């Protein structure tokens, strides 16, 4: 882990990462490890979520009130994890980020492959 690069990449990913986390939590509460794994798995390991970005993002989103957290035990109390869940504002945030993202994706698609853009 090179300390030089992590801040820069986080800056780049910040907006997208927030959206991905919110989207993941839409299926239900999850802890940090689950969130990271879920994103990784659903993107066929294309997106590796750096933990250096994940936890700061979670704490930041919690401060903004998009998500809340709670310690819960699983496996009959054998292990405890901090679970994050979506709030009402978080849902709204997700909706707005999603629509922004779709617009962007569409716009990029128009540029990249003009012929197939008509669906």
Partner 1 sequence: MVRHRLKSRLSSIFRRQAAESDLQRELQSHLDLETAEQHESGLPADQAYYAARRAFGNPTLVTEDVRESWSLAWLEHFFRDLRYGARSLLKSPGFSAVAVLTLALGIGANTAIFSAIDVLMLRPLPFSSPDQLVRIYSIKTGIADTFGNPDGPSAPDVRDFAQRSHSFQKIVVYDTWRKNVSFGDLAGEPEQMRVGLVPAAYFEILDVKPIAGRLFTEDENQVGKNFVAAISAGLWKDRFAADPSILGRTIRINGEPYTIVAVMPDLTPERVESGLLDSPKVWTPFAFSDVWSETSRGERGYLALARLKPGVPLEQAQADLSVIAAALAAAHPVDQGVSVSIKKLADTRAGSLRPMLFLLMGAVCLILLIACVNLANLLLARNSARQRELAVRTALGSARRGLIRQLLAETLLLSLAGAAAGLLLAKAGLASVMMLHPANLPQLEALEIDWRVLTFTLSISLVTALLFGLAPAITGTRLNLVDALKQGGRSGTAGKGGKRMRNLLVATEMAMSLMLLVAASLVVQSLARLNRQSLGIRQDHLLKGHFYVPGVRYPDPSAIARFCDQFANKIRALPGVIDATVTTIYPPNNGWTQMLGIPGHPATRIQDIPAAQFGVADAHFRTTLAIPLVRGRDFAESDIATSPPVALVTEEFRRRYFPSQDPLGQKIHIGPPQFMQLPSGAGVTDSSDVTIVGIIGDFRNNGLALPPEPQIVVLYSQHPLVNYGFKDIVIRTASEPSSLAPAIRRQLHDLDSDMPFAEVQTMEALVEEESGGERFTAVLLSLFAAAGLVLAIVGIYGVVSFAVAQRNQELALRIALGATRANVLWLVLKQGLEMATIGAAIGLLGACATQKLTSSLLFGISPVDPATFAGGAALLLAVAAMASAIPGVRVMRIDPSEVLRQD
Kindly list the residues in this chain that would bind partner 1 in the complex (CB under 8 A): 1, 3-4, 6-7, 10, 31-33, 50-53, 55-56, 59-60, 63, 79-82
The least distance separating partner 1 from the CB of residue 59, rounded to whole angstroms, comes to 5
In the bound state with partner 1, the residue whose beta carbon lies nearer, of 81 and 101, is 81
The least distance separating partner 1 from the CB of residue 80, rounded to whole angstroms, comes to 6
In the bound state with partner 1, the residue whose beta carbon lies nearer, of 72 and 103, is 72
The least distance separating partner 1 from the CB of residue 83, rounded to whole angstroms, comes to 10
Q: Residue 57, exposed/middle/buried by CB under 10 A (0-12, 13-18, 19+)?
A: buried
C-alpha distance from residue 2 to each of 6, 19, 94, 111 (Å)? 7, 26, 31, 35
Judge contact between 32 and 38, C-beta under 8 A.
no
């Amino acid at each position: 882990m090179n300390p030089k690069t992590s801040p820069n990449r986080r800056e780049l990913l910040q907006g997208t990462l927030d959206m991905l986390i919110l989207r993941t939590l839409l299926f239900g509460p999850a802890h940090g490890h689950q969130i990271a794994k879920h994103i990784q798995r659903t993107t066929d390991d294309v997106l590796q979520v750096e933990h250096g970005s994940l936890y700061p993002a979670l704490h930041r989103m919690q401060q903004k009130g998009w998500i809340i957290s709670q310690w819960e035990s699983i496996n009959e109390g054998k292990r405890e994890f901090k679970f994050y869940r979506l709030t009402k504002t978080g849902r709204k945030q997700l909706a707005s980020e999603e629509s922004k993202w779709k617009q962007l994706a569409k716009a990029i698609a128009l540029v990249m492959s003009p012929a197939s853009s008509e669906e």
